[in-house]
Amino acid sequence: MINKILATGAPPFGPHLLSVSGLSPEVLTGILDTAESFLEVGHQTVKKVPVLRGKTLVNLFYESSTRTRSSFEIAAKRLSADVINVSPTQSSVTKGESLLDTVRTIEALGADGLVIRHPSSGAPAFVADRLRCHVINGGDGCHQHPTQALLDLFTIRKRMGRIEGLKVAIVGDILHSRVARSNIMTLARMGAHVRLVAPPTLIPPGIRTWPVEVYHRLDEGIRGCDVVMALRLQLERAAGGYIPSVSEYARLYGINADVLDRLAPGALVLHPGPVNRGVEISGEEGFADRSAILSQVEFGVSVRMAVLYLLMGGGSEEAFPDKGGKE
């Protein structure tokens, strides 16, 4: 098993994963192939391999998280690493400790890797420049969410058998979505045709330079698509101020069994979670066979195992001393 993983031959992309912007199709494919080998570990009686034994990973999340934080924790534990979760609300951050002092303290405690989520875009890159340990972006502001995009790629490849040539519609609050920004880069790089579907107010300025087609009407935007990725309306980032009302948004952009008729046969519905039920998605039980939402969660563990292994399992610093994978 371990030999199979070690033999995947994925090109190294470390020492940090701050953005997907520097990841070539070869590196993306290598990460997905490595994740494929790790899937098996989750089905063993003893769900563990010793590839990161003796390493310590710290999760430092300045924003709430259910999936990403627990997924990194489970992934690291399956690789036999030790994992510590530092919660800013129960740490010296509440006494006014700065971000830099906090991460330097964590590194001094012996962390080999740090997963950081922060409301400010660029916070993971800021700390990566000042630390020696591996830094992984667990989501920064509206900027990037690299492991979400990787697990979305993995889910699409696994469920549809390919990525190249697929039509993928990303629907909803593109303006505030780090998930959309990362996914647009990875999907386009892997040869998918990306459409954005949203009211004009939720489309970021400067969109013309992105490799996407923009639609404002849901029925037109998703027609013939193989994958529809619904995004959460980010009310905590004031998305409510960009639409007349949540109920009108749900009526015009909500995904339900009726609108799915416009998709290609066998099309998939993705959502990074958490879902606002009745807003972005309603009546999922009516199209459960097409929903990949729990597959995304399940596959996320293997994808994060692959990322941790490729970054922290050795070899990446030698290959990329200039911190590849960073913007």
CA 221 – CA 234 distance, rounded (Å)? 21
Contacts for 310 with CB less than 8 Å, ≥ 6 apart: 10, 12, 13, 14, 30, 31, 34, 316
Site for ligand ASP in 223-262 (CB under 6 A): 232, 234
Q: Residue 145 or 189: which CB sits closer to ligand ASP? A: 145
Beta bridge partners of 214: 196
> With CB under 6 A, what is the number of residues at the site for ligand ASP?
8
Query: Nearest to ligand ASP by Cβ — which residue?
Result: 232
Are the C-beta atoms of residues 189 and 25 closer than 8 Å to each other? yes
Minimum CB distance to ligand ASP, residue 179 (Å): 5
Question: Cα Rg for the chain, rounded, in angstroms?
Answer: 19
Judged by beta carbon, residue 88 or residue 314, the one nearer ligand ASP is 88
According to CB under 6 A, which one of 78, 134, 145, 290 is a site residue for ligand ASP? 145
Query: Residue 255 CB, nearest distance to ligand ASP (Å)?
Result: 15
Question: Shortest CA distance to 323 belongs to which of 19, 5, 7?
Answer: 19
Which one among 199, 272, 313, 324 touches ligand ASP, defined by CB under 6 A? 272
Question: Which residue, among 152, 298, 323, has the nearest Cα to 231 in the 3D structure?
Answer: 152
Indicate whether 179 belongs to the interface with ligand ASP (CB under 6 A): yes
Phi, psi of 287 (to 5 degrees): -140, 40
Q: Does 146 bind ligand ASP (CB under 6 A)?
A: no
Q: CB-wise, 34 or 147, nearer to ligand ASP?
A: 147
Task: Give 63 or 213: the residue with its C-beta nearer to ligand ASP.
Answer: 63
Q: Which of residues 1-40 bind ligand ASP (CB under 6 A)?
A: none
Q: Does 139 participate in binding ligand ASP (rule CB under 6 A)?
A: yes
- What span, in angstroms and rounded, lies between the C-alpha atoms of 9 and 15? 17
Q: Is 178 in the site for ligand ASP (CB under 6 A)?
A: yes
- Would you give the DSSP letter of residue 17? B
Provide the binding-site residues for ligand ASP, judged by CB under 6 A.
Answer: 139, 145, 178-179, 232, 234, 272-273
